[in-house]
Amino acid sequence: MDIKKLQTLVVDALEDVKGQDIALFDTTHLTSLFDRIAIVSGTSNRQTKALAASVRDKVKQAGGDVIGMEGEDTGEWVLVDLGDMIVHIMQAPIRAYYRLEEIWGDKPVKLGAAKRKSTKEGEEADAPKKVSSHLAAGKKAVDASPVIEKKTPARKAAAAKPAAEKKPAAKKAAAVPAGKTIKVGKTKSAVAAAEALKALPPKRKVAKPKADEAPVKTVIKRIKKVEE
């Protein structure tokens, strides 16, 4: 059986039983024993056995050869030998532990290419995807050609003027001629403070003793009371 037809049958059989994370690899450059390897995950022993049975039955119905099957008793890792293709049906923990993709995964085969173009699934996989017109990806790119703006005489005259003339100049304070004094009126607070100082009584002047003069002694006389 043609290898392309065989890989198509295997992928279809795995998809019929809801196989998870289907991976297909080309191994012609690594070994001469087989040309393809398929790896798929099953969620339970029952599903791995059902996936293996689906592959076996579909290949036999198409006239292909099933050389052997291994691991059906436990269901943790079921291997289906189809001669030119080996199918590994594994539970997720077993697949994560052995990592067969790191050994055989140099040349992955796209699942869309694995399907025949004559089938409905193959046509849908190969057909270009339609993009909605309201999305940015669906709109045609517009050439970003430079736009030349025609200037009218009025626009040309405005463009010829320097930028400084376009903006109105800020109002400058009136210059004070040299040699003249400008009287500035007092503020209300200053006038009120001056009037308050005038209303205060004058301070008494205390005569300070001179440095040469001796301080005046104050004599206190005691007056005896006359007994009656």
Percent of the chain with pLDDT over 90: 45
SS3 per-residue string spanning 166-227: HCCCCCCCCCCCCCCCCCCCCCHHHHHHHHHHHHCCCCCCCCCCCCCCCCCCCCCCCCCCCC
Domains, the chain, ranges and CATH? 3-124 (3.30.460.10)
Q: Which of 80-84, 131-135, 209-213 has the lowest mean pLDDT?
A: 131-135
Q: What is the reported pLDDT for 194?
A: 76
pLDDT over 80 at 192, yes or no: no
Rounded Cα–Cα distance for residues 81 and 70 (Å): 9
Reported as a pLDDT band with limits 50, 70 and 90, residue 190 is confident
Query: Model confidence over 36-95: pLDDT tens digits?
Result: 999 999 999 999 999 999 999 999 999 999 999 999 999 999 999 999 999 999 999 999
Lowest-confidence segment of 35-39, 186-190, 220-224 by average pLDDT: 220-224
The rounded distance, in Å, linking the Cα atoms of 148 and 178 is: 55
The Cα–Cα gap between 197 and 75 comes to: 110
Q: Write the single-letter amino acid at 217.
A: K
- Alpha-carbon span 51 to 18, nearest angstrom: 8
What are the structure tokens assigned to 15, written together? 């998809």
The overall average pLDDT reported for the chain is 75
pLDDT category, 16, cuts 50, 70, 90? very high
In angstroms, the CA 25 to CA 10 distance is: 13
Which residue type sits at 124? E
DSSP 30: T
Place of tokens 């009656």: 228
How far apart (Å, rounded) are the C-alpha atoms in residues 3 and 34? 10
User: Residue 51 in contact with residue 21, Cβ under 8 Å?
Assistant: no
Looking at residue 117, its amino acid is: K
Q: Which single residue is written with the structure tokens 């579909």?
A: 58
* pLDDT at site 45: 94
Q: What type of residue sits at position 60?
A: K
The answer to whether the CB of 88 falls within 8 A of the CB of 55 is no
Of the listed ranges 68-72, 86-90, 144-148, 180-184, the one predicted with least confidence: 144-148
pLDDT tens per residue, range 156-172: 555 555 544 555 554 55
Instruction: Give dist(CA 198, CA 206) in Å, integer.
Output: 21
First to last CA, the chain: 162
